[in-house]
Chains A and B, each alone.
Chain A
Amino acid sequence: MKRRSMLLLGAGAAGALVVGWGVLPPRSRQGRADTLPVVDGEVGLNGWIKITADGNVLLAMHRSEMGQGVHTALAMLVAEELDVSLAKVRLVQAGRDTLYGNVAGFVAALPLHPGDMEPGHETRGVKAGRWIVSKFARELGINMTGGSSSVADAWDVLRLAGATARTQLLGAASLQWKLPLAELVVADGVISHPSGPVGHYGEFAKAAAVTPASTIAVKEAKDWKLIGKPVPRIDLVAKTNGSAGFGIDVRLPGMVYAVVRHCPMLGGSFGRIDSDAAMKLPGVERVVRLGPYAGSTDGVAVVGRSSWHAKQGAQALDIEWRAPPAGVLDSRQIAAALEATARQAAATQGGFAFHAAGDVQAASAAAARRIEAVYHAPYLAHAAMEPINCTAQVKDGKVEVWAPTQLPGMALALAARTAGVGEDAVTLHVTYLGGGFGRRLDIDFVGQAVRIALETNGRPVQLLWPREEDITHDFYRPAGAAVMQASIDAQGAITSLAITSAGDAVTPRWMERGLPALSGPIDLPDKTASEGLFDLPYGIANQRIAHAATHSGVPVGFWRSVGHSHNAFFSECFIDELAFETQKDPVAFRLSLLADMPRHAAVLKLAADKSGWGKPLPAGRARGVALHESFGSIVAEVVEVSLDERQRGRPVVHRVVCAADVGTVVNPAIVAQQMESAVIFGLSAALYGRIDIVGGVVQQTNFPNHPVLKLADAPRVIETHLIASSNPPGGVGEPGTPPIAPAVANALFVLTGKRVRGLPLVV
């Protein structure tokens, strides 16, 4: 607890730098009528909304669409408050203003315990911590799509922007018609009065921009027409006819193509390059040496007439690769070191305690039985379907970049640094992302593309990483190990829980790459390393949950659900072990520990009910369950699993029942889509996912040796059941991933009697 106070003090010192403003979000994030550039009779009303002459709404879109449905969800918030149909809302790219920064995503970095932050019953410490970090994040203004935070972050801000614009538009009509505002009605952007006057938003926009908004109130839930409805996504026509523009689809006059080859050894470099053979190939025009950009391994790019010509050239290069001076990496050695570190820390009360309550040692000494288990997780690649790419043009002192990125502001800053120009000279276009999963929170490829564009005589160049470069030069989900220890008293009650994990911390490494100015000489404790362990909802009186941060040297990054992705496997499998050891049903056992956490209990009960928990299954099938909170949402999953004897006992997942409390649901159809997505993404990792590093070289290279789930292997049924809630929205893109691996592992234990304590699950 003391250490947590210290963290808050640290954040407070940073907060003291920004005490200048008098208002807190969301009101501080509305912008002004002139924040957005206007053309063709458009009128800006605030930093988010413009009205066109024909009465359509233009929404400044600050978040990246990578499949999670964020463009639809955010457009719904504005359409709701403006009383227009979704078809009337068009998206324009948001600029660089700090009002587009992500506040909620940074507030979520606080290591808060769920017992202290129940919605409506937050402790004073939680409120203070959130306030301070909000101020700091608002000042930083980092535009980030990640951490399942987009809707939570926009919830108050965009609804207020829409409600304010609506009030201004109605106010302008009221003044012009000399009729009371309260008597005006709006239908799909058309204002009217029962006495006859009718006009669309476009007719009042100019006047509205100079009409102060009177009383502004966002709608009450009972008045919602869009929020809470399964509204079709706005991006699906383009995504079914080939017209959706991903980064790799940018085509510009005179464009050339580049393909990169990195040093195969992570962190390595190169010496002599023989490019004679490459340069003799038709369609190959140039070789560009690439140093490190925001954490990338050094490499060489070949520029050519097409991506294929460039790749032929890259393959023809004869390069003398050099190992990194610190030595080459080996993932087996790292795994052994992680276990040793975790064991050592467990034995000595070491590591950073993210949560401590009661007296674990006393409880352990008094215990009738002690249970201990060690769990492992491997490195993982993201393998988004759109391989890493970026298009850049450097001409006449200006830089233009087209990037599928989750981090446009930092990408723009890196482009400026790379080209040696001011940020004002850079224009960055965010394309659709063909998957992100956290990989596109790194911006290495943007620096590379701009570097190459400096060599192409003003012509735009599209950099593409072949799939092999994508898998072998990712920023990997860190490997991890955890020592799990519990004490059981003579009555079979769990009296203590000690978890000591070890692994690299992602956030400080990411800060070094992308935000070196904010990166200190020593790492602050990274909540993401222990999330999913320190913040368990279970009522166990004595707890010590600590993490020993390591420095493996492997480039590590954010991978869908981050620390939760492996920590939920550790915690929810171990909880299952404790249920077995105390001879209790896994659902009943969890419920017995959730007396003070009614939302968690309700989610678990819903999953159990909908899955038919406890009811007989066909022979050879078993159920497993897991419950996990992440990104402000609680998800329970019950799976039905069998073993396919024709395929050496490979687990087959037939049915997944998800129950979730995600707070207020903006679009239940998108929530269901994301639960399905998160389950299948997590299943690929649970059943197949691993990255092995030998001699510094990642051994997996492409889908044939890095298998992922395919249609035939996917569960036939994935059901999503949502708890009705009026709490603010939680995350949706990630929270479905953490429970799937432990749920499957727990089912496998029922089937085989054997505990698998490492990933991927090999029976």
Chain B
Amino acid sequence: MDLSVNGQTRTVADAAVDPSMPLLWVLRDVLNLTGTKFGCGVAACGACTVHLDGQAVRSCVTPLASAVGKPVRTIEALGTAEQPHALQKAWIAHQVPQCGYCQSGMLMAAAGLLAKNRDPSDADIDAAITNICRCGTYPRIREAIKTAAKALRGGDTGASPRAVAAA
């Protein structure tokens, strides 16, 4: 099976996987892309959030079969060291992470929101960010999303989602 992950074609041996195997475990245990996290296995916590065909999805309940033929983007390709995503810059400016475990999923959920909504309101953020953080970084996440949205609108983009997907 061929998967398109972060702009690269990754071949997964049919013997190694099952079409019903969740994308999360293919990413983590087969492709060793461990930035995407396991938190609950039932789409409740969002730690496993990745982009599938540009949409934020919970990869712990996304069967591999449904990801074949669609671009998958993970935290590893949200930005680059040279050109971090505006959200990654805002995350650091607001000193968001603590333990950091949920933050890959938070960032991918936030990136999914900003790709559709350039100027999210508090209600938009409430509706889009349903991920769980036990360290309580929520107030800073809210502010960081607003900062990143502003930067993206103002042209201080870091790396735009489109540019990264192309890279």
Contacts and interface: CB of A to CB of B under 8 A. Distances in A.
B126 to A, nearest CB: 4
Contacts of B132: 385, 703, 708, 710
Contacts of A680: 135-136, 138
Interface string B21-40: 11001001110111111111
B18 interface: yes
Q: Chain A: interface secondary structure?
A: loop
Nearest to B128: A711
A711 B97 contact: no
A586 interface: no
A735 to B, nearest CB: 14
A710 B103 CA distance: 14
Nearest to B93: A232
B163 interface: no
A677 B38 contact: no
A257 interface: yes
Interface in A367-393: 383-387
Interface string B124-140: 01110111111111111
A703 B37 contact: no
Nearest to B125: A711
Contacts of B126: 711-712
B100 interface: yes
A196 B50 CA distance: 56
A188 to B, nearest CB: 22
Contacts of B47: 385
Given A434-B101, A673-B95, A703 B44 contact: yes
A754 interface: no
A28 to B, nearest CB: 32
A458 to B, nearest CB: 20
B25 A307 contact: yes
B156 to A, nearest CB: 17
B140 A434 contact: no
Interface in B7-21: 15-16, 18, 21
B75 interface: yes
A437 interface: yes
B34 A242 contact: yes
B37 A248 contact: yes
A435 B107 CA distance: 18
A236 B84 contact: no
Interface in B108-167: 122, 125-127, 129-142
B54 interface: no
A288 to B, nearest CB: 19
Interface residues of B, number: 62
A235 B96 CA distance: 11
Interface stretch (A63-71, A103-111, A124-132, A171-179): A63-71
A434 B40 contact: no
Nearest to A255: B29
A681 B135 CA distance: 7
B45 interface: yes
Contacts of A239: 97, 100, 103
B16 A305 contact: yes
Interface stretch (A150-158, A630-638, A715-723): A715-723
Which has the most chain A C-beta neighbours within 10 Å: B42, B97, B130, B136? B136
Contact of B102 (A248, A309, A385): A385
Contacts of A257: 29
Interface string A455-477: 00000000010110000000000
B13 to A, nearest CB: 11
Given A242-B75, A435-B101, A715-B139, A232 B134 contact: no
A244 B88 CA distance: 14
A679 B29 contact: no
Given A306-B25, A464-B38, A241 B75 contact: yes
A236 B142 contact: no
A467 B98 contact: no
B98 A307 contact: no
B78 interface: yes
A251 interface: yes
A385 B98 CA distance: 12
Interface in B71-104: 74-76, 78-79, 81, 84, 88, 91-92, 95-104
B40 A386 contact: no
B134 A241 contact: no
Contacts of B44: 702-704
B100 A677 contact: no
Contacts of B97: 67, 233, 235-236, 239-240
Q: Lowest 8 A-B CB distances belong to which pairs?
A: A242-B35, A680-B136, A434-B101, A239-B100, A67-B99, A67-B98, A242-B75, A306-B29
24 contacts: A67-B100, A236-B95, A239-B97, A239-B103, A241-B79, A242-B78, A246-B101, A257-B29, A385-B45, A387-B38, A436-B99, A467-B40, A467-B42, A673-B140, A676-B136, A684-B134, A702-B40, A702-B42, A703-B44, A703-B132, A710-B130, A711-B130, A712-B127, A714-B138
Interface of B: 15-16, 18, 21-22, 25, 28-30, 32-42, 44-45, 47, 74-76, 78-79, 81, 84, 88, 91-92, 95-104, 107, 122, 125-127, 129-142
Interface of A: 65-69, 232-233, 235-246, 248-249, 251, 257, 282-283, 305-309, 383-387, 432-437, 464, 466-467, 669, 673, 676-681, 684, 702-704, 708-712, 714-718
